[in-house]
Structure 1
Amino acid sequence: MRAEVLHIEECPSWEDAGRGLRSALDATGHRDVAITFTLIASAADATRLPFAGSPTILIDGQDLFPSDGRTTDLACRVYLTPKGLAGRPTQEQIESALIAHG
């Protein structure tokens, strides 16, 4: 399994998303999976990757939270969580998505 967080420099949520992903990977039996953090610094970077806003969490190259599509805008992403809109999914949401991913 490959885990990656795509992010922009100005995003305040990418580090917390990475910590949530690490905890979720550990909780679902994937302690050996390393997380790669990829800075999206330009529209060209966003074009070559499945970027849907920062942070985008990829597992095996696919968005763990598929949305309406990719973007080349260097912008933050918003997730719907049980407590409303947030800059990252909850650890529980990440865990559920990992389990569904297989």
Structure 2
Amino acid sequence: MRANQGQQAGMNQALFEAYFGRAEDVSDHNILIRCVEALGLDPAKAREVLESDQYARMVREDEATYQKAGITSVPAFKTRQVGAFSETPYAGRGVDLDFSLK
């Protein structure tokens, strides 16, 4: 929904601030609606999307794509669809990144 309204970067920032800045649970629909409202978007439309499975197939396809690339955690970065790296459970133990070329 956000990308369709040209506000993807703004929503990313709002979610980042909610999660990391205020330690809010960004899986809570009320928190998500507050982020939407802060950007001046339609909260009713956002709630409609959250309460439906309108984007479920697309999200599951994206998840599968990243899992196939070896991404198992966030943050993760993908470059030119050829390689991926992400933090691993070994962070802080001398191995901070998992480089996967699959």
Question: Larger relative contact order (C-alpha < 8 A, sep ≥ 6)?
Answer: 1
Structure 1 and Structure 2 fold alike (TM over 0.5): no
TM bucket normalised to smaller: under 0.3
Flag the structure with higher helix content.
Answer: 2
**Normalised by the size of structure 2, how large is the TM-score?**
0.24
Larger radius of gyration: 2
